[in-house]
Amino acid sequence: MAYMAEERLEEIRQARLGKRAAMLERGEVPYPAEARRSHTGAEFLEQFETLQADSVPVTLTGRIVSVRTHGSIAFVDIADFAAKVQLQLTQDDVPEEIFARLAALDAGDFIQASGEAAQSKRGSNVLRVGEFHILSKSIRPLPKTWFGLKDVETRYRQREVDLLLTEKAKEILRTRSRVLAWLREDMQRRGFIEVETPILQPIAGGALARPFATHHQALDMELYLRIAPELYLKRLLVGGFEKIFELGRNFRNEGIDREHNPEFTMCELYWAYADYEDLMDMTEELLSSLAATLSKNDWEKPWRRERFVDKMSELTGFDVAEKQSPEEYIPLFATHNLELPHVRTYPKLLDALYKELWKPQLTEPTIVYDFPLPLAPLAKAKVVDARIAEKFQVVAQGVELVNAYTELNDPVEQRERFMVQQQQRDAGDEEIGKLDEAYLRALEYGMPPAAGWGLGVDRLVALLTEAGSIRETISFPLLKKEHD
């Protein structure tokens, strides 16, 4: 069956290549450089009555969806990004040589057609064509059907075909564009300045993740694709900026699942003279407003707020801020039939329990705040309890969307925390980067009190569109090699 399908595909390809060759022999250009249209398909349909009444000349462009010829009349359906329009050609309206060109057309071709708005005998709004020509000859036929979830890898591997045949896939990417534009506009409205920081970095810092490494030939030095822009953004606070944000790609050499892709988009902001409570309020307002613009009204504020240390102490049976020995946590994994993390430090074990025992239960948007300090090495401790970090996350549908905290700006304490991390790195935690002396030097010049915030854009779009996976929100998600 598969062999016959491939055989038939090659037969169609050869037939279309023959049509291309015949066009060249006739002096026609199968891929002309110039294309013009007077209206999009949507504009043509919206303005149809006026265009018809005033006999306005119209030129449309689009990809052929179907061609149907019935004797002396032919109908060609074309589609552009937003609409589908029916073209009508009759032998009485066009010269014989133009009507004869229909034989060269196939579904998938791009064409340019000129004529006037009219109605068919069945009352359909059509473009009565007087002239047309091919803009791009399609050689490979499009599938007549698409397998959707039954063939996810093929959909991602041939994403362009998926977008052509699956309106939902295209709508998700449209929504992604709207979300990015909305975030930029909202940040600027709040007085934040958009900045850019290096993607190639000598030290991978600002998050816990294994980086991608590369080598710069001219400088003969190892560099890393950034795992987060955080440390550079805070150096801009030292440099005098007060409200900044960056929308850009991060790269983490980690697994792939519904929440993770090695290349992903983050929005990070830093706000001088604010703390994590200010960011909680801003986040709730920002994301609920964004959701409302997309008609997702179940994100209305006020959101539920819960303390991490209280809930996790309840679930473990002891004070998680007080007990920080890994030996206290390891037995809980057997109790709950969970797999132990490879790295068995206190932060890793407690975070793993959080992700298994509580986070999946958080379906409605929830602000989880006040984490034990070792889970936030770049955050300030609470004044009333130095064991607790002024940190919060936003979780919805069991997915972490936002990670935020009041920033630690004491260079001495930050160095001490980095040294603890270096001990964990030496003990085998490969997600901890090298100590960043440039960042510590910057802190010594003085950084204003500030709050920082990171939002996973891919995850946000996946939840707002009910996509089920961030891979649906990425134009071309990373895949394993197609062939060895």
Domain containing residue 465: CATH number: 3.30.930.10
Write out pLDDT tens, residues 428-441: 888 888 899 999 99
Q: Are residues 117 and 262 in the same domain?
A: no
Q: 151 pLDDT exceeds 80?
A: no
Comparing 203-207, 351-355, 452-456, the range with the smallest average pLDDT is 203-207
CB 59, CB 110: distance < 8 Å: no
Residue where a domain terminates, one of 116, 136, 156: 136
CB 450, CB 280: distance < 8 Å: no
Q: Are residues 112 and 181 in the same domain?
A: no
Total number of domains in the chain: 2
Mean pLDDT throughout 259-268? 96
Q: Are residues 116 and 199 in the same domain?
A: no
DSSP 296-318: -GGGPSSPEEEEHHHHHHHHHTS
Q: Residue 1: its pLDDT value, please? A: 34
Any residues with CB less than 8 A from the CB of 1 and at least 6 apart, and which?
none
**Strand partners for 250:** 264
Mean pLDDT throughout 147-173? 83
Q: 427 pLDDT exceeds 90?
A: no
Is 266 inside any structural domain?
yes
Q: Are residues 59 and 188 in the same domain?
A: no
CB 184, CB 194: distance < 8 Å: yes
Gap between the Cα atoms of 242 and 419, Å rounded? 28
Q: Residue 150: its pLDDT value, please? A: 54
The confidence band for 484, taking pLDDT boundaries of 50, 70 and 90, is: low
- CATH code for the domain in which residue 94 is found: 2.40.50.140
The confidence band for 4, taking pLDDT boundaries of 50, 70 and 90, is: very low
The confidence band for 148, taking pLDDT boundaries of 50, 70 and 90, is: very low
Among residues 129, 119, 126, the alpha carbon closest in space to that of 90 is found at: 129
Percentage of residues of the chain with pLDDT beyond 90: 83
Q: Are residues 94 and 172 in the same domain?
A: no
Q: Residue 206: its pLDDT value, please? A: 85
Would you say the pTM of this structure is higher than 0.85?
A: yes
Is 154 inside any structural domain?
no
Q: Residue 243: its pLDDT value, please? A: 99
Percentage of residues of the chain with pLDDT beyond 70: 98
Q: Which residue has the higher pLDDT, 218 or 483?
A: 218
Q: Residue 142: its pLDDT value, please? A: 86
Write out pLDDT tens, residues 308-346: 999 999 999 999 999 999 999 999 999 999 999 998 999
Q: Are residues 71 and 202 in the same domain?
A: no
Angstrom CA distances, 439 to 270, 443, 447, stand at 15, 6, 11
Gap between the Cα atoms of 439 and 272, Å rounded? 17
- Compute the mean pLDDT over every residue in the chain, rounded to the nearest whole number: 94
Is 148 inside any structural domain?
no
Mean pLDDT throughout 364-373? 98
Is 342 inside any structural domain?
yes
